[in-house]
């Protein structure tokens, strides 16, 4: 089965580039930037990855990305991910980046996006993998900061296919960003957002995302299973879910594999992705293996993935 998974042409649609920062690269970038990490070895660093829910993960995730300072740092980060993804026969990736996690500590937006963009262009030429960027807003910051980030992104619009919403969901519902999303839509961006698994108001957040914001996709969104009317709505509208079983297993202590399979069986466009693979151990092939899918299901999930990509129709068809 693992050979079948490995050989299958894949699309990855839920991947935080800052969550691909492996300990080895973290040490290399720290050295390059004159930063002394509070760990002597890679093993010590890994041992400090002590998290069991979303907030405890996010604390380590934001601390970890402090070593990213220069354009070549962002280039190296993205190129390393794309090399790894290509080695698993990922043919196309939509990559989240968190500009506010960098601008809030004085790293310019321009430098972040230039590094990522240059890696994407080089990877396409050198590795044959295609990718596009999705800009995420941090939902635990104020909506005004998200709006300012949206405006800052406009000169780079050609390099960004859509917007997302991530970070700590507790007390930060989709409705908080309604005006930001309306403007993003006006500017031609496609829309997704995290509705993380087992949150305080999961169903209400999914409802707001679908009915009030009008998202094109939902990241995670597995709790939708609890509300058949919403399930019907996402099926009708062709809204896909980007699910991440290994990540679920760590932040909720269940991979939610049974729930994800049920949604797939009901006809929801479910996909399987890796989220933050340097922290939730496993890239897309390992996440697919975790699901215990039949070959038929594996093929269906990858068809779903290419179908819900934000590529123009003719490029989608070339993959399908």
Residues that bind Zn ion (CB under 5 A): 275
276 labeled binding residue? yes
275 labeled binding residue? yes
Q: Is 19 in the site for ligand ADE (CB under 6 A)?
A: yes
Q: Is 205 in the site for ligand ADE (CB under 6 A)?
A: no
Taking the complex as a whole, the smallest distance from the CB of residue 21 to ligand ADE amounts, in Å, to: 11
Taking the complex as a whole, the smallest distance from the CB of residue 61 to Zn ion amounts, in Å, to: 10
Q: How many CA atoms lie within 13 A of 32 on its CB side?
A: 16
Taking the complex as a whole, the smallest distance from the CB of residue 275 to ligand ADE amounts, in Å, to: 5
Total residue length of the chain: 320
Residue pair 160/187 in contact (Cβ under 8 Å)? The answer is: no
Q: Is 16 in the site for ligand ADE (CB under 6 A)?
A: yes
Taking the complex as a whole, the smallest distance from the CB of residue 247 to ligand ADE amounts, in Å, to: 5
Task: Choose which of 100, 103, 153, 167 interacts with ligand ADE (CB under 6 A).
Answer: 167
**Using CB atoms within 10 A of its CB, is residue 140 exposed (0-12), middle (13-18) or buried (19+)?**
middle
14 labeled binding residue? yes
Residue closer to ligand ADE (CB basis): 91 or 276: 276
317 labeled binding residue? no
Q: How far is CA 282 from CA 234, 277, 290, in A?
A: 28, 5, 9
Among residue numbers 207 through 266, which ones bind ligand ADE (CB under 6 A)? 247
**Using CB atoms within 10 A of its CB, is residue 246 exposed (0-12), middle (13-18) or buried (19+)?**
buried
Task: Choose which of 196, 224, 259, 302 interacts with ligand ADE (CB under 6 A).
Answer: 196
Q: Which residues pair with 11 in a beta bridge?
A: 92
Q: Give which of Zn ion, ligand ADE, none residue 12 binds (C-beta under 5 to 8 Å, depending on kind).
A: none
Residue sitting closest to Zn ion (CB):
275
Encoding tokens for residue 246? Answer: 């290994």
Q: Give which of Zn ion, ligand ADE, none residue 197 binds (C-beta under 5 to 8 Å, depending on kind).
A: none
Query: Alpha-carbon distance 23 to 141, whole Å?
Result: 27
Using N-to-C axis directions, what is the helix angle for 143-153 and 178-186, rounded to 10°? 10
Buried b (16+ CB within 10 A) or exposed e, 204-236: ebbbbbbeebebbbbbbbbbbbeeeebbebbee
Which residue has 């839920």 as its token pair? 14
Query: Alpha-carbon distance 253 to 54, whole Å?
Result: 11
Taking the complex as a whole, the smallest distance from the CB of residue 132 to Zn ion amounts, in Å, to: 16
Q: Give which of ligand ADE, Zn ion, none residue 196 binds (C-beta under 5 to 8 Å, depending on kind).
A: ligand ADE
Taking the complex as a whole, the smallest distance from the CB of residue 101 to ligand ADE amounts, in Å, to: 9
Among residue numbers 267 through 296, which ones bind ligand ADE (CB under 6 A)? 275-276
194 labeled binding residue? yes
Known binding site for substrate: residues?
276
Known binding site for Zn(2+): residues?
14, 16, 194, 275
Residues found near ligand ADE in the complex (CB under 6 A) = 16, 19, 54, 61, 166-167, 194, 196, 247, 275-276
């Amino acid at each position: 089965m693992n050979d079948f998974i490995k050989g299958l042409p894949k699309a990855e649609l839920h991947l935080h580039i800052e969550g691909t920062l492996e300990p080895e690269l973290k040490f290399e970038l720290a050295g390059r930037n004159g930063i002394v990490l509070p760990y002597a070895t890679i093993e010590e660093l890994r041992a400090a990855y002590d998290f069991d829910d979303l907030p405890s993960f996010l604390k380590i995730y934001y601390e970890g990305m402090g070593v990213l300072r220069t354009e070549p740092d962002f280039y190296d980060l993205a190129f390393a991910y794309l090399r790894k993804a290509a080695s698993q026969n990922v043919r196309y990736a939509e990559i989240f980046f968190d500009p506010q996690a960098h601008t809030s500590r004085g790293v310019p937006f321009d430098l972040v996006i230039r590094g990522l963009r240059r890696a994407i262009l080089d990877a396409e030429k050198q590795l044959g993998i295609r990718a596009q960027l999705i800009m995420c807003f941090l939902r635990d910051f104020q909506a005004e900061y998200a709006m300012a980030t949206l405006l800052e992104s406009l000169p780079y619009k050609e390099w960004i296919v859509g917007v997302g919403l991530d970070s700590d969901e507790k007390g930060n519902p989709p409705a908080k960003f309604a005006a930001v999303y309306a403007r993003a839509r006006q500017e031609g961006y496609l829309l997704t957002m995290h509705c993380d698994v087992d949150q305080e108001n999961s169903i209400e957040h999914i409802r707001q995302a679908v009915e009030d914001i009008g998202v094109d996709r939902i990241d995670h969104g597995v709790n939708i299973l609890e509300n058949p009317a919403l399930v019907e709505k996402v099926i009708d509208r062709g809204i896909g879910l980007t699910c991440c079983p290994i990540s679920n297993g760590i932040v909720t202590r269940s991979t939610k594999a049974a729930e994800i399979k049920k949604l797939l069986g009901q006809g929801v466009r479910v996909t399987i992705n890796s989220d933050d693979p340097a922290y939730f151990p496993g890239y897309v092939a390992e996440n697919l293996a975790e699901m215990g899918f039949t070959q038929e299901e594996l093929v269906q999930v990858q068809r779903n993935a290419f179908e819900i990509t934000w590529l123009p129709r003719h490029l989608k068809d070339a993959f399908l």
